[in-house]
Amino acid sequence: MLDTHGRKYFQPLIYQVAKVFMKYNMSANQVTVIAFLLGISTGVFAFYGMGVIGVVIMWISGLLDAVDGTIAREKGSTPFGTVLDMTFDRLVEIAIIIGLALRYPGEQFQLLLLTCSIIFSMTVFLTTGMMAEKKGQKSFYYQAGVAERTEGFIFFSLMLIFPTYLKVITLIFFGLIVFTALQRMREAARLLS
């Protein structure tokens, strides 16, 4: 929801950062790799209980994830760049969940449910994107939802900073992702029927 409706407010900042990378002739894929490496390191910080550092690094990774899209739109995108971006986004989420699961073994069931909900939501999202006509600035049909990447980062931030409430935060996050998946499923039924 925030990605869809809030991006316009942050796009000037994202564009300024993108200009710095473009000045040094960096491609969108190169920025994607940098964002990925920073993002997966968040899982390491989660494992070592360094939540605040993990959150800062995760949000820098998220900024660069938006920057790579801006560079792709400016310089031209490739289908492989889209695959790289979507795959690395999921691997960052997996790294954070694994880091938390290893740090807090008593919470592994909730984190497993969260992982399943992400798989469910992304399956609907990607399948609908594949079946629908390309629309908008992205290289695929983009289904908006209640829980998008920014909401995910907010919940991961809460999970990293307030591990005492990890179970509750994870279950709320799980519920929002399942709701989003069902919301996307309903839209897919309308769009593709």
User: Containing H/E element for 51?
Assistant: helix 51-75
Mean pLDDT of all residues in the chain?
92
Between 46 and 6, the higher pLDDT residue: 46
The token pair at 162 is 């307030």
Between 95 and 2, the higher pLDDT residue: 95
pLDDT at 134 over 70: no
Measuring CA to CA, which residue among 83, 55, 58, 74 is closest to residue 17?
Answer: 74
Measuring CA to CA, which residue among 5, 34, 3, 7 is closest to residue 21?
Answer: 34
pLDDT recorded at residue 193: 84
In this prediction, residue 191 has a pLDDT band, given cuts at 50, 70 and 90, of confident
Q: What are the structural domains of the chain?
A: 2-192 (1.20.120.1760)
- The pLDDT tens digits of the residues spanning 12-21 come to 999 999 999 9
